[in-house]
Chains A and B, each alone.
Chain A
Amino acid sequence: MVTDIHTRLLGRPVAFPVAESRLAYWLVVLRLVVGWWFLHAGLDKFLAWPFDASWFVGGAAAQTSLGPVVTLFSDGALLAFTNVMVPVGQVLIGLGLLLGALTKLAAFFGAFLMVFFYFINGETGGWAHGVITGDLLGLLIFAMIATLGAGRVLGVDAYLAQTSIVDDHPRLRYLIG
């Protein structure tokens, strides 16, 4: 089946057809691949515990655009917080996407993490072939997953969307797919 999208963009009417089955298929594939990307990144850090982010938030970030903010997290309690929250966050983001549970929330924080990876990796050598890197594309895929609500397709969010809690608190729909 094909759905016609009708909206306005840049002041002009926009209409285009979307093949529903292909969109649904593509959302699941993207969600699972990106979910495993982050779940693996998080589990990898736990398997090699302890994880020490100081080389990244202290060393690598120091000379970059994000340095003034990120280096605040390079020692003491804030570093300890970072060392735990990065792998925990990656595991939760990965699980959220793999299961399609709280997909928009997971994708938002995935994009949030990618901002740091994009600029710090980029300015320390990752932009040697231009500023469009895998980190930026990952960030954009997270934004797309959040925009399209990918968790509703074969995900837990399809169930969550029908619960009475979400009915009573419609704003929760911002967090689910």
Chain B
Amino acid sequence: MTQLTTLERIALYGGGGLLLMGTVGIGLLEIVAGAPHPVTGEGQIVHEALVPLQARSYVILLGLLLWGAYAVVSVATQAPATDTSV
């Protein structure tokens, strides 16, 4: 059984949490009290959005960056889990 270290918890829970906050969380807020469509088909930002689109983008981006950093740091610092398939 594999256990997550503290750093892994920060990267995986933090990254996943931010991604879910930016997509699902803010999405629900916008459905209830803002603009369900953050941009138009022509790429114009809908200004009635409760959370500025750029802020929402950065929340999602930060989540993805945490995931990416986790992958890079794992390769750089940890030995991979024991491979039992070979």
What residues make up the interface of A, taking CB atoms closer than 8 Å to B? Answer: 6-8, 10, 64-66, 108, 111-112, 115, 119, 122-132, 136, 139, 143, 146, 152, 161-162, 170-171, 173-175
Contact = CB atoms under 8 A, between A and B. Distances in A.
A127 B38 CA distance: 7
Interface in B20-79: 22-23, 27, 36-43, 45, 53-54, 56-58, 60-61, 64, 67-68, 71, 74-75, 79
B68 A131 contact: no
Contacts of B2: 7
Nearest to A152: B85
Nearest to A63: B43
Smallest CB-CB A-B distances: 5 pairs:
A125-B43, A124-B43, A65-B57, A128-B41, A173-B80
Contacts of B60: 119, 131
Contacts of A161: 83, 85-86
Interface of B: 1-4, 13, 22-23, 27, 36-43, 45, 53-54, 56-58, 60-61, 64, 67-68, 71, 74-75, 79-80, 83, 85-86
Nearest to A163: B86
B83 A173 contact: yes
Given A127-B39, A146-B71, A170-B79, A6 B1 contact: yes
B61 A130 contact: no
Contacts of A122: 39, 57
Contact of A171 (B45, B61, B75): B75
Contacts of A7: 1-3
A127 B64 CA distance: 18
B28 to A, nearest CB: 11
Contacts of B58: 65
Given A125-B43, A127-B37, A161-B85, 12 more contacts: A64-B57, A65-B57, A124-B39, A125-B39, A127-B38, A127-B53, A130-B38, A136-B23, A139-B64, A162-B86, A171-B75, A173-B83
B39 A112 contact: no
A131 B71 CA distance: 24
A65 B37 contact: no
Contacts of A170: 79-80, 83
